[in-house]
Amino acid sequence: MELVGRPTVLPLKKKPKLMNASSPFCNYEVKFNGIVLFLLERKMGASRRNFLTNLARERGFQIESELRDCVTHIVAENNSGSEVLEWLQKKQIVEKHCEILDISWFTECMGAGHPVEIQSRHHLVVQQDCSASFNNPLASSWVQVSQYACQRRTPLQDINGIFTDAFEILAENYEFLENKGPCRGFQRASSVLKSLQFPIATMNDLDGLPLLGNEMRTIIEEILEDGKCSRVLDVMNGERYKSFKLFTSVFGVGLKTAEKWYRMGFKTIEEIKSNPDLKLTKMQKYGFQYYEDIGSFVSKSEALAIYEHVREVIWKLVPDAVVTLTGGFRRGKEKGHDVDIIITCPREDKEKSILHNTISILKNQELLIFYDIIESTFDNKKLPSKCVDALDHFQKCFTILKLQKKKEGTMESMNSDSKIRNWKAVRVDFVIPPYKQYAYALLGWTGSRQLERDLRRYANHEKNMMLDNHGLYDKSKNVFLEAYTEQDIFKHLGLEYLEPWERNA
């Protein structure tokens, strides 16, 4: 930036210098060429806008009180990009090409005393709309890849896996360190790259993409140059990361337990299994006993075999029950680590007896190795949780079931005393929501985890609503919004519907 002169509030001897000779409206001294600001009063208020305008002029910025042709940066507060675009369209301004920025960029400029570099976090997001992109020159210029995964279609195939794998290893390492900020940052950056329909080949391909800060870009640049990232390799070879990765792969072991075992000096599964002084939970004991089975992948055909068998059991009990295979398999994955099944019934309260009766039958069929039932704490009168990663309060059961190995795709009762074990232990989770909450539970348990986080952030930040697996609450109207399908939920949020296979964020 060119430094013209120091700002003068009350010039006595010097004449005001115009930054842009074509703009007769600037009658104060400015310091920076090529930058003309406009503060959007919408949701900001006149008094705050006047204060910020005077502050900017004192710092030497050219700032216009009206949106003129010379404006290069539009700054808004508490507005989404879509809301700014709508405001401009109402003003019949459709050909203005300039930056649409959040107030955070403006305040950083004021603090620094000069224009700061525009980061992806400063950009306001314009919801992608195909018709607007092709028919509206303003929208076509400003539409970007959204910062929210719920506004991006993310297929199963990840053509930027060399970068996203690196980001996810770093995110996982931060998760093991219980450092949520960097963990979320790498997860969101990975999610953006997964949604792209083109492979990243040069650093220029990153232009305009959100959530890719300098740290992420440095990693991408190193991978482009060397085919690998030294930082990622250091993490993968680190003793702590390897230990946590191993311990948390055991059914029933979380971060706290992994931390304790690591501090105790354990490094292998065998060391833990052979230590008689360790007090393991029932779930962990079964997790170790069937570690090889549970640690291996479950194929789609195996998941379908379990689902179809469970569905037949439930339909004999409750013929009109709704039984749905969810999780990664619903998103189109060919393999996973467990099987998630949601069960409900259109008849009110009829779903309450399904779980216990189903577990009883599976036990009689000698298919049940382990089960842990968690009874419902769901209260229809409570608001959805403010916590993005909050667990739901539905009745659920975490189980380990037997699946016959000989002929993949069938389940069969097997005696646990068989000398030659021809069955495989598979983790299966059952979730039983009331029918009125079924659509919300289905959306939540389908995933992906990043999509669910972004759906909840979008609802809160853009729509003044609260979303979780139980419902959607409109804070402006103080009402819960009914939804009987996932399409209903997307419609309430003003989002284009994403099919399950487009949610692999």
CB 109 within 8 A of CB 125: no
Q: Please identify which of the residues 338, 392, 454, 468 carries the catalytic annotation.
A: 338
Instruction: Answer whether 239-289 and 298-382+391-434 agree in fold.
Output: no
C-alpha 412, offset from chain centre: 38
List of the chain residues with pLDDT < 50: 1-25, 94, 127-143, 413-418
C-alpha 454, offset from chain centre: 4
Instruction: With CA atoms as reference, report the closest residue to 174 among 159, 160, 189.
Output: 189
Q: Please identify which of the residues 158, 205, 372, 429 carries the catalytic annotation.
A: 429
Beta carbons within 8 Å of 30's beta carbon, 6+ residues apart: 4, 7, 17, 18, 19, 60, 61, 62
Instruction: With CA atoms as reference, report the closest residue to 359 among 368, 351, 350.
Output: 368
User: So what's the pLDDT on residue 448?
Assistant: 97
| CATH 3.90.105.10 for domain 36-142 | no
No. of helices (H) and no. of strands (E), the chain = 20, 14
User: So what's the pLDDT on residue 224?
Assistant: 95
Q: Is 474 a catalytic residue?
A: no
Measured CA to CA, the distance from residue 86 to residue 72 in angstroms comes to 18
User: So what's the pLDDT on residue 407?
Assistant: 56
Q: What is the CATH number of domain 150-236?
A: 1.10.150.110
DSSP state of 118: P
Query: Which tens digits make up the pLDDT trace of 417-444?
Result: 445 789 999 999 999 999 999 999 999 9
Cβ neighbour number for residue 198 with a 10 Å cutoff: 8
CATH class of 298-382+391-434: alpha beta
Q: Is 372 annotated as a binding residue?
A: no
User: So what's the pLDDT on residue 227?
Assistant: 94
* Residue appearing with tokens 């996982």: 172
What is the token pair recorded at 208? 């305009």
What is the token pair recorded at 338? 């467990």
CB 32 within 8 A of CB 115: yes
At 96, give phi and psi (nearest 5°): -85, 125
What three-state secondary structure class fits 78? coil
Q: Is 234 a catalytic residue?
A: no
Measured CA to CA, the distance from residue 170 to residue 167 in angstroms comes to 5
CATH fold of the domain at 446-502: Beta Polymerase; domain 3 (3.30.210)
User: So what's the pLDDT on residue 126?
Assistant: 55
Q: What percent of the chain has pLDDT over 70?
A: 85
User: So what's the pLDDT on residue 135?
Assistant: 34
**Residue 431: its H or E element:** strand 423-432
User: So what's the pLDDT on residue 20?
Assistant: 40
Q: Please identify which of the residues 102, 293, 340, 392 carries the catalytic annotation.
A: 340
Measured CA to CA, the distance from residue 387 to residue 478 in angstroms comes to 19
Q: Is 468 annotated as a binding residue?
A: no
User: So what's the pLDDT on residue 100?
Assistant: 87
CB 445 within 8 A of CB 456: no
CATH class of 239-289: mainly alpha
Q: Is 69 a catalytic residue?
A: no
Q: Quick one: residue 478, left, alpha or beta (phi over 0 = left, psi -120 to 50 = alpha)?
A: left
Q: Is 429 annotated as a binding residue?
A: yes
Q: Where are the domains of the chain?
A: 36-142, 150-236, 239-289, 298-382+391-434, 446-502
What is the token pair recorded at 295? 């640690």
Is pTM beyond 0.75? Reply is no
